[in-house]
């Protein structure tokens, strides 16, 4: 980049350019959603889009899933490393990448596309996005599973190669994709939606340069990054200083191995926020391994939540953040480790820091939540069209209670962020299932002065024979944690109820469980951890919890010390434990 930084750009212009950049990111985001073919994108919003500068530094990003924060940077820097130094990046190039261990960062289903933006012959920025394709091939429908043992079983790998070269489509690569995925119309449709979003970013950025001048825009970019750092350092100064540690256990790897110990030591100084995961378990055989880029984005998510959750994301924000991790560990797995359900471990990188710091920043962090994406794949034949269908979606659950607030009911985990379920109406129309139940779990777990939010129960009933369900529900054995006297929440699980009434399960992970007509799969998610002594919860709130069905009469008495009439919901007295509290 030849432009020099302009030290005296006026703040009004800076704000205008900054807002334009954010608007470009938003327009790219909506373009992708409105032109995609798959419900996992246009309904669930399992994608991200944004802009970086010519060095790969993130300028703006819109995303449905927080698990993609920062992954666009890794993609762009991989492309710069491969093509940029040789001058092989040209106007009209579009690069495709999903290699988990380097620029791709997550798993093969999350396919990244990026486009260099040129202005007056100079590389000035990149337009980039990353989206979950319904299919990228591999041994299992949906391209993720719980029993893969190496990356080669999990689908097509795109090792940072050109999909377009100077505007010309690589038709051979498109034909390879079409021949190797089970639903080529969906996958290629989503690919073209990503291309449309990239071109939107490219066009809008160049229009911004036309309007304000290239040098002003590039200088404003630098100011934007510096401003992000300044705001973060101001917030960092207000955090308690010291060393904070946490330990937890990942249930298993999907193949029966486990549990796996993971740990973190967080050091907060005046200048840095250091997260050291040294000592966590080595990479494992099953597909719960997380690659380094995905682990970084997990740390960035919780760092942002602790410092300034309302801050617009750019790379300047993360300059004080330092991460230490051992290569070859479960948090930084190396080829050819299986990673198709990487999110199960990635979430622990977030949660460990959360658990370590919740007691010292309770105004920002709550008790533990469902944590797992609780993802499910259901495949089979549609009863009306006799064509194959594929459901791929996450599940909602309970969040932990916090200082002055009950936990949220039925929300996605922190790694999913601002995503959605596939609506029941869409599900029943497009797929060969009926949704028999979608309700709060209301198991009364997570008792506290502020109670944990309720998980949910979602039940699919198969409408044809020879269907199959694959699901991965982490925190099946190790519960969402309560703190400051609050009780732990409940676990995630799923079970099969056969047409004859026979039950099988509960399971935390299972690959390709066969379903025949009228068999059901019940997806049951965790209730979050509680905050504070349950005996200090106001009796009126306990009575209302009972009336609303979140707790039982027995739980009101045993956990909260309140004796309530089950018919009138009137408070009739208190236990000795509550009276003595």
Tens of pLDDT, residues 285-334: 999 999 999 999 999 999 999 998 888 889 999 999 999 999 999 999 99
Q: Can you point out the beta strands (E) in 341-399?
A: 375-381, 388-393
- For residue 413, report the phi and psi dihedrals to the nearest 5 degrees: -70, 165
Q: Which two tokens stand for residue 229?
A: 């750092």
User: Which pLDDT value is given to residue 406?
Assistant: 98
Q: Which residues contact 269 (CB under 8 A, 6 or more apart)?
A: 241
CB 126 within 8 A of CB 216: no
What is the rounded CA–CA span in Å between residue 551 and residue 490? 13
User: Which pLDDT value is given to residue 422?
Assistant: 80
User: Which pLDDT value is given to residue 199?
Assistant: 97
Cα–Cα distances in angstroms (integers) from residue 236 to residues 192, 233, 297, 298, in the given order? 41, 5, 19, 18
User: Which pLDDT value is given to residue 83?
Assistant: 93
Q: Is 382 left (phi over 0), alpha (psi -120 to 50) or beta?
A: beta
Q: Which of 70, 171, 101, 20 is CA-nearest to residue 415?
A: 70
Q: Which of 519, 520, 523 is CA-nearest to residue 506?
A: 523
DSSP 3-state of 22: helix
Chain centroid to Cα 520, Å, comes to 27
Residue numbers of the chain with a pLDDT score lower than 70: 1-8
User: Which pLDDT value is given to residue 3?
Assistant: 44
């Amino acid at each position: 980049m030849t432009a020099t930084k302009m030290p005296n750009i006026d703040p009004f212009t800076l704000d205008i350019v900054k807002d334009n950049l954010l608007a470009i990111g938003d327009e790219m985001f909506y373009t992708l959603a409105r032109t995609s073919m798959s419900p996992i994108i246009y309904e669930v919003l399992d994608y991200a889009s944004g802009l970086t500068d010519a060095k790969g530094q993130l300028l703006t990003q819109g995303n449905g899933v927080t698990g993609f924060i920062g992954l666009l940077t890794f993609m762009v820097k991989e492309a710069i490393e491969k093509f940029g130094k040789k001058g092989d990046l040209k106007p009209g190039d579009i690069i495709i990448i999903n290699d988990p261990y380097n620029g791709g960062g997550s798993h093969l289903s999350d396919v990244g596309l990026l486009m260099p933006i040129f202005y007056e012959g100079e590389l000035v920025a990149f337009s980039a996005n990353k989206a979950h394709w319904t299919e990228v091939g591999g041994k299992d429908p949906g391209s993720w599973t719980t029993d893969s043992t190496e990356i080669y079983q999990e689908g097509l790998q795109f090792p940072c190669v050109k999909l377009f070269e100077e505007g010309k489509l690589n038709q051979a690569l498109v034909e390879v994709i079409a021949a190797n995925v089970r639903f080529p119309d969906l996958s290629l449709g989503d690919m073209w939606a990503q291309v449309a979003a990239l071109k939107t970013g490219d066009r809008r950025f160049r229009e911004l340069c036309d309007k304000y001048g290239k040098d002003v825009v590039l200088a404003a970019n630098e100011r934007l990054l510096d401003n992000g750092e300044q705001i973060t350092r101001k917030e960092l100064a207000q955090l308690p200083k010291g060393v904070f540690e946490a330990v937890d256990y990942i249930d298993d790897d999907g193949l029966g191995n486990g549990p796996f110990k993971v740990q973190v030591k967080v050091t907060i100084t005046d200048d840095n926020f250091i997260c050291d995961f040294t000592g966590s378990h080595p990479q494992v055989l099953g597909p719960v391994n997380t690659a380094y880029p995905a682990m970084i984005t997990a740390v960035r998510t919780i760092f942002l939540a602790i410092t300034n959750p309302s801050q617009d994301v750019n790379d300047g924000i993360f300059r004080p953040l330092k991460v230490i991790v051992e290569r070859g560990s479960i948090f930084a797995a190396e080829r050819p480790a299986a990673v198709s359900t990487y999110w199960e471990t990635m979430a622990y990188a977030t949660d460990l820091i959360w658990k370590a710091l919740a007691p010292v920043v309770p105004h920002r962090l709550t008790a533990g939540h469902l944590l797992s994406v609780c993802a499910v794949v259901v495949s089979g034949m549609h009863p009306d069209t006799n064509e194959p269908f594929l459901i791929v979606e996450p599940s909602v659950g309970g969040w932990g209670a916090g200082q002055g607030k009950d936990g949220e009911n039925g929300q996605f985990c922190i790694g999913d962020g601002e995503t959605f379920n596939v609506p029941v109406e869409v599900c029943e129309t497009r797929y060969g299932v009926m949704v028999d139940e979608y309700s709060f779990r209301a198991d009364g777990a997570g008792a506290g002065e502020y109670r944990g939010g309720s998980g949910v129960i979602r039940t699919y009933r198969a409408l044809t024979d020879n269907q199959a369900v694959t699901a991965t529900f982490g925190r099946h054995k190790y519960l969402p944690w309560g703190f400051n006297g609050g009780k732990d929440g409940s676990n995630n699980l799923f079970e099969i109820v056969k047409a004859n009434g026979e039950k099988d399960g509960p399971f935390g992970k299972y690959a390709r469980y066969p379903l025949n007509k009228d068999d059901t799969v019940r997806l049951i998610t965790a209730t979050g951890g509680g905050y504070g002594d349950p005996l200090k919860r106001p009796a009126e709130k306990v009575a209302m919890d009972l009336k609303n069905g979140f707790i039982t009469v027995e739980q009101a008495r045993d956990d909260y010390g309140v004796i309530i009439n089950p018919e009138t919901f009137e408070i009739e007295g208190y236990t000795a434990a509550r009276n003595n509290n």
